[in-house]
């Protein structure tokens, strides 16, 4: 009888445990829509199939991962995959020769005349989201040329060959044509954009048709000019690196720069020749934290990348795996930790080349993370989460406590002046897309890039065919919101772009990035945890359902926040949704929530590489 009772008790406990799991979590994804890529020699992944092919072409020429990444960057710029040639480049590179991770800072700066007073006199609370006054100096050409010169192996002529062919004409895809048609009224306000993007003016559908050959002959001429500069320098006896930098000078100091400035000023922009000539790419040391023995690298405070490191530092203080994948408690934990990290982003991040100096050492302190962890409300969402005080954790006194006392996460809405075109919705700005690029080779080179800027509707500057950036809108005009990100000429706005690299035992472990706006490090945090905590392979982790918080301030348009709003994937069960509703969340249910994420996992056991790309969007990869 005693043994029978023990069996009954054992079964009862087993069923109670199973019931708990059913009521608190959803199954870890076990199948994928796309197959994982497998490569022994190289992997190339980006936002468009044609652009991934451009990367593969470089590997076939004998190039390395940097050459492939540069070719994919050029192709995505040419295809307006959420960016154009005058946008910006943010990259992390694992240097196979040194075993070090380096950062590429090719974000443009505010031009001469772009001051807080200038925009206030126009009765603007922030720089605009569109047009010449939204544009920083071009960054993508410089980022590509410096990466290629310093770390690549092929010539500029070889790397730009696919994009020059595409500028001559390529069959345009429906996603881009629909975007052009949607934004055609804004495009009509800019003469050079109208000539490129609207070949069917006067017709009901004025954009190019899907599959139509899309020609950009001004851009083709610009790319050829850079190649001509390189080839002439090589013929004159200059080295490969020197010749590529001659092409750099032609873009930023020569005839291309003069036409960019003329086209910008003609349409009301502020750019000067000195703005382009004095701008430069920075090769930087990234920031890093360790999570479960894995070194995770991000670019520093001129982008939002350190928020992922801050979030990992806070999450080290709790057992995530025991909560159950995407249980109500797990989701609540992620949301609250992201609130804390992003509140710090919203107040403390800015251009590290300008004063005041960001307290990055305090922000990434493990002790500071423990202090922030203590502030989590485990019962309900806290809509009033504020930035913390990292200064004591680097031995300093906070000079901005008087601003923190007045800081409110729920920034009051202040309408901008009415324009001829309807402004983007809050979510359109918050989720604003870009592209991402991942490349790796058997020699050990790894590149992760999140380029952006100059998306549709892009204002093209003159007869050089390059769409101008819209990144100026990420600046703040009021220091009470963020004393580190106040607009100044020559300064970089704090951007959302955030590539990622992770090493294990000194070797590449993961390379990952995602398109989007303020969602990027939210997506990437969950992707990383999917691999490290829940054992998913790279494709499962890329497709897995993500949550999205809107509690941080948007980096776009009116910089608003929506505390408590939570996007869930429709696979999250009703009982989890009910529990989250009781915790104060306003739920938004969607079918696709994965990013889209692009990533490479390095399988050291077998000496191979796994490529992953979300089943959300047109992102595509090729491996060999």
User: Confidence class of residue 18 from pLDDT cuts 50, 70 and 90?
Assistant: very low
Res. 409: pLDDT tops 90: no
pLDDT > 70 in the chain, percent: 91
Tens digits of residue pLDDT in 420-450: 445 556 566 555 567 999 999 999 999 999 9
Res. 190: pLDDT tops 70: yes
Tens digits of residue pLDDT in 260-293: 999 999 999 999 999 999 999 999 999 999 999 9
Res. 414: pLDDT tops 70: no
Is 101 within 8 Å of 91 (Cβ atoms)? no
Give the integer Cα–Cα distance in Å for 192 and 269.
Answer: 14
Report, as an integer, the average pLDDT of 295-307. Answer: 98
Give the integer Cα–Cα distance in Å for 356 and 299.
Answer: 18
Report, as an integer, the average pLDDT of 201-217. Answer: 98
Report, as an integer, the average pLDDT of 375-379. Answer: 97
What is the model's pLDDT at position 410? Answer: 62
Tens digits of residue pLDDT in 146-181: 999 999 999 999 999 999 999 999 999 999 999 999
Question: What DSSP letter does each residue of 85-98 carry, written as one string?
Answer: TBSBEEEEEEETTT
Report, as an integer, the average pLDDT of 602-621. Answer: 94
Tens digits of residue pLDDT in 345-362: 999 999 999 999 999 999
Tens digits of residue pLDDT in 222-235: 999 999 999 999 99
Q: Which structure tokens are listed for 96?
A: 């196979």
User: Confidence class of residue 14 from pLDDT cuts 50, 70 and 90?
Assistant: very low
Looking at every residue in the chain, the average pLDDT score rounds to: 92
Decide the pairing of beta strands 565-569 and 586-590.
parallel
Report, as an integer, the average pLDDT of 247-251. Answer: 98
What is the model's pLDDT at position 557? Answer: 85
Q: Which structure tokens are listed for 64?
A: 């390395």
Give the integer Cα–Cα distance in Å for 92 and 203.
Answer: 45
What is the model's pLDDT at position 429? Answer: 55
What stretches of 6-79 adopt beta strand conformation (E)?
37-39, 42-46
Nearest to 546, CA basis, from 561, 536, 554, 555: 536
Res. 11: pLDDT tops 70: no
Res. 58: pLDDT tops 50: yes
Report, as an integer, the average pLDDT of 594-604. Answer: 94
Q: Which structure tokens are listed for 24?
A: 């608190």
Give the integer Cα–Cα distance in Å for 44 and 56.
Answer: 6
Q: What are residue 599's DSSP bridge partners?
A: 512, 612
Indicate yes or no: pTM above 0.75: yes
Is 347 within 8 Å of 404 (Cβ atoms)? yes
């Amino acid at each position: 009888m005693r043994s029978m009772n023990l069996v009954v008790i054992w079964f009862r406990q087993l069923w109670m445990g199973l019931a708990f799991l059913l009521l608190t979590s959803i199954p870890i994804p076990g199948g994928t829509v796309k197959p994982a890529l497998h490569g022994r020699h190289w992997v190339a992944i980006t936002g468009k199939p044609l652009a991934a092919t451009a990367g593969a072409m470089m590997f076939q020429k004998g190039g390395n991962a940097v050459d492939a990444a540069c070719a994919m960057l050029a192709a995505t710029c040419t295809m307006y995959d959420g960016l154009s040639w005058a946008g910006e480049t943010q990259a992390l590179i694992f240097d196979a020769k040194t075993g070090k991770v380096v950062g590429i800072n090719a974000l443009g700066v505010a031009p001469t005349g772009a001051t807080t007073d200038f925009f206030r006199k126009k009765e603007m609370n922030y720089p605009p989201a569109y047009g010449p006054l939204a544009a920083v100096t071009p960054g993508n050409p410089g980022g590509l040329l410096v990466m290629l010169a310093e770390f690549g192996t092929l010539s500029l002529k070889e790397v730009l060959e696919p994009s020059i062919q595409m500028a001559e004409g390529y069959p345009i895809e429906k996603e881009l044509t629909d975007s052009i048609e949607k934004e055609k009224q804004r495009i009509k306000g800019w003469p050079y954009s109208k000539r490129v993007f609207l070949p069917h003016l006067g017709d009901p559908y004025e954009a190019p048709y899907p599959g139509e050959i899309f020609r950009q002959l001004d851009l083709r001429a610009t790319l050829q000019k850079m190649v001509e500069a390189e080839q002439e320098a090589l013929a004159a006896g200059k080295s490969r690196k020197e010749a590529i930098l001659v092409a750099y000078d032609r873009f930023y100091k020569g005839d291309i720069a003069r036409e960019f400035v003329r086209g910008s000023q003609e349409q009301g922009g502020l750019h000067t020749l000195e703005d382009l000539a004095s701008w430069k790419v920075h090769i930087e040391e990234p920031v890093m934290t360790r999570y479960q023995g894995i070194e995770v690298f991000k670019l520093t405070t001129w982008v939002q990348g350190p928020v992922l490191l801050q979030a990992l530092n806070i999450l080290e203080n709790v057992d995530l795996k025991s909560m159950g994948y995407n249980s109500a408690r797990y989701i609540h934990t992620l949301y609250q930790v992201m609130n804390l990290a992003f509140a710090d982003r919203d107040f403390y991040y800015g251009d590290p080349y300008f004063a005041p100096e960001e307290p990055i050492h305090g922000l990434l302190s493990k002790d500071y993370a423990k202090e922030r962890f203590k502030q989590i409300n485990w019962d309900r969402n806290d809509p009033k989460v504020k930035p913390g005080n990292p200064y004591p954790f680097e031995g300093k006194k906070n000079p901005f406590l008087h601003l923190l006392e007045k800081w409110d996460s729920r920034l009051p809405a202040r309408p901008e002046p009415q324009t001829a075109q309807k402004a983007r919705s809050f979510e359109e700005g918050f989720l604003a897309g870009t592209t991402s690029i991942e490349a790796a080779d058997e020699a050990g080179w790894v590149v992760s890039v999140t380029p952006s800027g100059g998306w549709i509707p892009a204002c093209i500057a003159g007869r050089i065919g390059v769409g101008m950036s819209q990144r100026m809108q990420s600046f703040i005009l009021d220091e009470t919101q963020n004393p580190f990100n106040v607009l100044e000429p020559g300064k970089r706005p704090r951007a959302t772009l955030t590539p990622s690299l992770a090493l294990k035992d000194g070797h590449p472990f993961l390379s990952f990035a995602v398109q989007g706006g303020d969602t990027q490090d939210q997506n990437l945090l969950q992707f990383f945890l999917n691999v490290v905590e829940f054992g998913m392979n790279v494709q499962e982790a890329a497709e897995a359902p993500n949550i999205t918080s809107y509690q941080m301030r948007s980096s776009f348009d009116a910089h608003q926040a929506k505390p408590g709003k939570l996007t869930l994937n429709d696979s999250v069960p009703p009982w989890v949704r009910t529990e989250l509703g009781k915790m104060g969340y306003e739920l938004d249910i969607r079918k696709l929530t994965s990013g889209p994420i692009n990533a490479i996992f390095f399988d050291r056991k077998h000496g191979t590489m796994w490529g992953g790309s979300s089943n959300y969007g047109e992102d595509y990869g090729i491996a060999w």
